[in-house]
Every structure is written in structure tokens, then in C-alpha cells.
Amino acid sequence: MKNVKYVIIAIACICVLCAGFFFFTQDQKENEKDLTEIEKVIVKDLKNNYPKTPREVVKFYNRIVKCYYGSEEPTEKQLNDLVDQMIGIMDDDLLLVNPRDTYYNSVVSDIEQYKQAKKQLVSTDVCGSNDVKYVTDDKDGEKDELAYVKASYFMNTDGKFAYTYQQFVLRQDEDGRWKIITFYQVEGEESDDK
């Protein structure tokens, strides 16, 4: 009889623990749902959860840019945190010519220009995985693994809508992480669905 009593107590304890775990995880999911997009981008842990592919890096870049120029306006602290996230996906060579303070001031200036022009970034898109071009650049005996990724941006400027396109060049660092080394505006391709 004593053994049955202990088994029942053990089962009850297990049920209480399982219920507690279930409610704890549900609460965590609810807390994530309550975050704004800016907060979600800021809390992304790039050290332990860095984007795996060049395409994912550009998608994260686009999320940051949308936080800069989208409908939600970041606070000064949030803007600093967003800039830090952007710095985390930039290649060291890009950071040499565009240090943090210079980049931050550029973003602040661009945001102000967007406001004055009544310009807003509505949506972004990245080319498909099959459209990413991988190249090995061999110069001076050092081989760099590069990836070319194209992205599009749908802009609203005071009620007028237009697409712009950018080509990103990413380089794989010694840890295997793809970092943005440069990007530039390119001509887009017309399609029936746009």
C-alpha cells in the first residue's frame, strides 16, 4: 500500500512539473509576441544565433533598415542598439571605411531626410537561394569566399510608390560567418507580379 501511495505522489509531482513547464513556455511565447519588430531585431543574439547563409544576412540587414525607415520610429537608445546590430553583420573592411560613429550619424541624417521627403520603406525582398552567386576570389595567394545577393525595396514617397534594387557582396570570415563587405544600387528586373 505504501508503494502505491509513493507512485501516486510521484505521478502528481510529475504532472505539476509538466503543467508548470507548459505554462512557463506559453508565457515566454506570449512575451515574444508582445515585442515590436524593433525590439525583436535588437534582442537577436548574433553571437550565438548568427544568420547561416548570405541570404539570411541580407534578410536581417533588411529588417534593420526597415526599423530605421519604416512606420515605427525608434527611440535614440533603440537606434543605437539597431546600429550595433548592423555593425555585427558588417565585414571588417567595411567598418574601416565606415566606423560606428560615422555610420550612426549617417543613419540619423538619412532618417531625417526620409521624414522631410515623407518617404517610407514599405517592404523588402531578397532574391531566391538559387539566385545567390558564390565566387572564390584569389588575390595575392589569399582566397576569399564571396557571395552576391540581390534585394529589392518598395518605397512610398509622399504617395508615390517605386522599387529600388541593391546588390550585396558578402565575404565569409574565419568563423564561417557571412559579412557584408559592400552594397550598391543596381537596375531591377521587371516581372508580371509587380
**Per-residue pLDDT tens for 77-94?**
999 999 999 999 999 999
What is the pLDDT averaged over residues 92-121? 93
What is the pLDDT averaged over residues 93-112? 94
- For residue 167, what is its C-alpha cell? 546588390
Domain spans, the chain: 53-186
Mode of pairing for the β-strands spanning 133-139 and 178-186: unpaired
Q: CATH number for 53-186: choose from 1.20.120, 1.20.1270, 3.40.91, 3.10.450.
A: 3.10.450
What is the pLDDT averaged over residues 110-114? 93
Classify residue 74 by its DSSP letter.
P
**Cell 539570411 belongs to residue:** 56
Instruction: For residue 104, give the H/E element and its range.
Output: helix 100-116
What is the pLDDT averaged over residues 69-82? 92
What is the pLDDT averaged over residues 36-65? 96
pLDDT of residue 187: 87
Instruction: For residue 23, give the H/E element and its range.
Output: helix 2-34
